[in-house]
Amino acid sequence: MTEKQTAALSDLLVTLSSPRSPISEAYRTLRTNLQFVSLDKPLRTLLITSPGPEEGKSTLLANLAIAIAQGEKKAIMVDCDLRRPSLHKLFGLDHQRGLTTMMLDDKALTDPPLQETGVPGLQLLASGPLPPSPPDLLGSQRMDRVLTVLKERADMVLLDAPPVIAVSDATILATKVDGVLLVVSAGQTRRDSVQAAKTRLEKVNARLIGAVLMNAPLDTSLQQYYYTRQEKG
């Protein structure tokens, strides 16, 4: 990675800035767990959402995608948040061309406007120009074709979505992917919101793989134990 690329990357990408930290280790554990939950039906498309706004969806998606790419697998991140797209910002890229471009332009459908992130094996399909009605686009058959094209180019396609409650975008997308991960933010996401989001996803028969707790305080006693054991071993 060049110095300019490194400078453009967000501090939130801990898997790049501190690959040996406990947080990066947690992302690698999540990557491994996802492989195990899907032994029978491999996860090729994964939707990441949460009950409400600003609960860490995009941060989790980007770090998980980096962990997957660091594990020698090809990954594509797709910014399906056509209301407040943000993945491009984390990587210092732009969102002029992307998902909605593939919806409107036949040439882009066969030759997707994927951007290199600077992380080997990891590409971004940004949002593209924002449409007036995201659910119409996300629920279209054209969206299925986009996913088919992207799956041919990566081992894992990760979709970033707006919150489940308030808009229908995430539940619509949930019907088109192999699995859904629900992000919950410690001390922020309310218990009844988690239940409401789960109910909505179950209603459309989404394959809810599990929930990930973001912003949880680090358990220092466990770390101590782990490091002590390592030193002895």
Residues at the contact surface with ligand ATP, assessed by CB under 6 A? 12, 50, 53-59, 81, 84, 86, 163
User: Which of these, 196, 229, 210, lies nearest to 38 by C-alpha position?
Assistant: 210
Instruction: Considering the complex, state which of residue 108 and residue 117 has its C-beta at the smaller distance from Mg ion.
Output: 117
CB of 54 to ligand ATP, least distance (A): 4
Instruction: Considering the complex, state which of residue 17 and residue 148 has its C-beta at the smaller distance from ligand ATP.
Output: 17
Contacts with Mg ion by CB under 5 A: the residue count is 3
The answer to whether residue 95 forms part of the interface with Mg ion (CB under 5 A) is no
How do strand 115-116 and strand 122-125 relate by DSSP bridges?
antiparallel
Does residue 75 sit in helix, strand or coil? strand
User: Which of these, 148, 162, 207, lies nearest to 181 by C-alpha position?
Assistant: 207
Q: Work out whether the CA dihedral 56, 57, 58, 63 comes out positive or negative.
A: positive
Q: Sheet of 122-125: strands edge to edge?
A: 115-116, 122-125, 75-79, 156-160, 45-49, 179-185, 208-214
CB of 58 to ligand ATP, least distance (A): 3
The answer to whether residue 200 forms part of the interface with Mg ion (CB under 5 A) is no
**Exactly one of 50, 58, 117, 193 binds Mg ion (CB under 5 A); which one?**
58
CB of 57 to ligand ATP, least distance (A): 4
CB of 168 to ligand ATP, least distance (A): 15
Q: Do 65 and 122 touch, CB atoms closer than 8 A? A: yes
d(Cα 81, Cα 29) in Å, to the nearest integer? 26
Helix axes of 57-70 and 22-37: crossing angle, nearest 10 degrees: 80
Instruction: Considering the complex, state which of residue 160 and residue 178 has its C-beta at the smaller distance from ligand ATP.
Output: 160
Instruction: Considering the complex, state which of residue 108 and residue 170 has its C-beta at the smaller distance from ligand ATP.
Output: 170
Instruction: Considering the complex, state which of residue 56 and residue 121 has its C-beta at the smaller distance from ligand ATP.
Output: 56
**Binding-site partner at residue 59 among Mg ion, ligand ATP, none, CB < 5 to 8 Å by type:** ligand ATP
CB of 214 to ligand ATP, least distance (A): 7
**What number of residues does the chain have?**
233
Residue numbers of the site for Mg ion (CB under 5 A)? 57-58, 86
